[in-house]
Amino acid sequence: MIKGIALGVAGLAAALTTALPVTAQEAVKIGLILPMTGPFASTGRQVSAGAKAYMAAKGDTVAGKKIELVIRDDGGVADQTRRIAQELVVNDGAKVLAGFGLTPLAMAVAPVATQAKIPTVVMAAGTAAITKASPFITRTSGTLPQYSMPVGTWASQNGIKKVVTLVSDYGPGIDAEKWFSKEFKAKGGEVVEAVRVPLQNPDFAPFLQRVRDAKPDAVFVFLPSGVGALFMKQFSDRGLPEAGIKLIATGDVTDDDILNSMGKPAIGTITGHFYATAHESPENKAYVEVFKKVNNDMRPNFMSVGGYDGMALIYNALEKTKGDATGPAFMEAVKGLSWTSPRGPVSIDPDTRDIIQNIYIREVKDVGGELQNVEIQTFANLKDPEKAEAK
Ligand code: PHB
């Protein structure tokens, strides 16, 4: 009998909850921290646009909770990212933190995530070590080792013998240099020089001269999203294509946001990455359509898909926890989640909280008057190799 009453009370509570309008229920506030201004503003624009496209497609309610997105600009400065994260959690009641346009910005928030046990979704930054910095961090972008290594495989199988690497001198660049070189050398290639360029305001001219002097078959490049157009211009102006030096890179360099503005010099560039606007699938067709509709006809790049899938992860995890966004429950729910992204099939590695995904080798081609990253080869379901190696 007592059991019956207890069930009755629980039933009543459930009924009341269902009967309440969604707006009267506790909302789940998501603090989206991004560089909306400064040199990496294109990342902030794309990630936030992807997150908004997800909410436009799927609505703003999940497991009976209203989802509220609060976008804050850190200007790409790590101290700001940390300060904003603390404010969002302590003063504004944010239950989930997300965004993070560059590795140092994600790293700055890791202690906040750990101390406050706040689920933190990295939607953009790509250094492998980020998910190791806090057990409350997961990621929907990818890691540099994951998408640099296949470029090494491709190069070794396509007649390239001698390479110079050129990367931005910070976390993701070091990861890209290491994993491209490791794979390329293991398959018989030779890396004759490793050039590192400053992250801020790079002038590529002296570095490109060093590449030219080394007379490699190809130069392998990583630069963060947004910088590729300037690099492409200097690469072409300094005559590297005429010197017979092929450009191979991570897809950050031929980022779909700016690819069209690069013009002819970009054609033929080979890159490895997890997303191209030109990816052929029904899910991507629907994504590009809704994205353009809610974002003024803007072309979505890989950063936007990190934002879109970050929201997919949050919605799927909340569905699983029945709306519980507290750190331990949420992070448990994240492990092993899988869904079909605009980029292809993805899942969250239960051991590392990083994303398992296809990596595509693409070639820049003129498709009906627009430059596109056209997929030519697929490496299916890759994990982050850096963490697999450490095991
Ligand atoms: C990073 O800082 O982790 C980062 C930034 C831009 C990219 C990739 C990685 O395109």
Of the residues 252, 274, 354, 386, which should be mutated to test ligand 1's pocket, given the most ligand atoms within 8 Å of the CB?
Answer: 252
Same domain as 381, residue 263: yes
Q: Is the CB of 126 under 6 A from ligand 1?
A: yes
Give residue-wise pLDDT tens across range 261-309.
999 999 999 999 999 999 999 999 999 999 999 999 999 999 999 999 9
Question: Considering only CA atoms, which residue is closest to atom 7 of ligand 1?
Answer: 224
Ligand 1, residue 250: give the atom nearest the CA. 10
Three-state DSSP at 162 gives: strand
Asked if 34 contacts 70 with a C-beta cutoff of 8 angstroms, the reply is no
Same domain as 104, residue 93: yes
Q: Supply the pLDDT for residue 7.
A: 36
Q: Supply the pLDDT for residue 13.
A: 39
Q: Is the CB of 76 under 6 A from ligand 1?
A: no
Of the residues 33, 34, 102, which should be mutated to test ligand 1's pocket, given the most ligand atoms within 8 Å of the CB?
Answer: 102
In the chain, which stretches have pLDDT less than 70?
1-25
Q: Supply the pLDDT for residue 252.
A: 98
Q: Supply the pLDDT for residue 201.
A: 80
C-alpha torsion sign, points 33, 38, 41, 42: negative
Mapped to the 3 state alphabet, what secondary structure does 279-307 carry? CCCHHHHHHHHHHHHHCCCCCCCHHHHHH
Residues 270-281 as b/e (b if ≥16 CB within 10 A, e otherwise) read bbbbbbbbbbee
CATH code at 55?
A: 3.40.50.2300
Same domain as 367, residue 219: yes
Q: Supply the pLDDT for residue 11.
A: 41
Same domain as 224, residue 167: yes
Q: Is the CB of 125 under 6 A from ligand 1?
A: yes
Same domain as 251, residue 348: no
Three-state DSSP at 155 gives: helix
Ligand 1, residue 127: give the atom nearest the CA. 3
Same domain as 98, residue 182: no
The DSSP line for 109-133 is HHHHHHHHT--EEESS---GGGGGS
Q: Is the CB of 307 under 6 A from ligand 1?
A: no
Q: Supply the pLDDT for residue 391.
A: 73
Same domain as 363, residue 245: yes
What's the pTM value of the predicted model, to 2 decimals?
Answer: 0.93
Same domain as 74, residue 134: yes
Q: Supply the pLDDT for residue 25.
A: 64
Q: Supply the pLDDT for residue 202.
A: 83
Same domain as 232, residue 266: yes
Q: Is the CB of 103 under 6 A from ligand 1?
A: yes
Domain that holds residue 75: 2-142+281-353
Same domain as 307, residue 259: no
Q: Is the CB of 224 under 6 A from ligand 1?
A: yes
Of the residues 168, 225, 227, which should be mutated to test ligand 1's pocket, given the most ligand atoms within 8 Å of the CB?
Answer: 225
Quote the ligand 1 centre to 172 CA distance (angstroms): 6
Ligand 1, residue 252: give the atom nearest the CA. 10
Quote the ligand 1 centre to 300 CA distance (angstroms): 16
Ligand 1, residue 172: give the atom nearest the CA. 3
- The span from the CA of 76 to the CA of 43, in Å, is 10
Same domain as 128, residue 52: yes
- Total tally of structural domains belonging to the chain: 2
Q: Count other C-beta atoms under 10 Å from residue 192's C-beta.
A: 13
Same domain as 97, residue 77: yes
Residue with token string 């491209």:
180
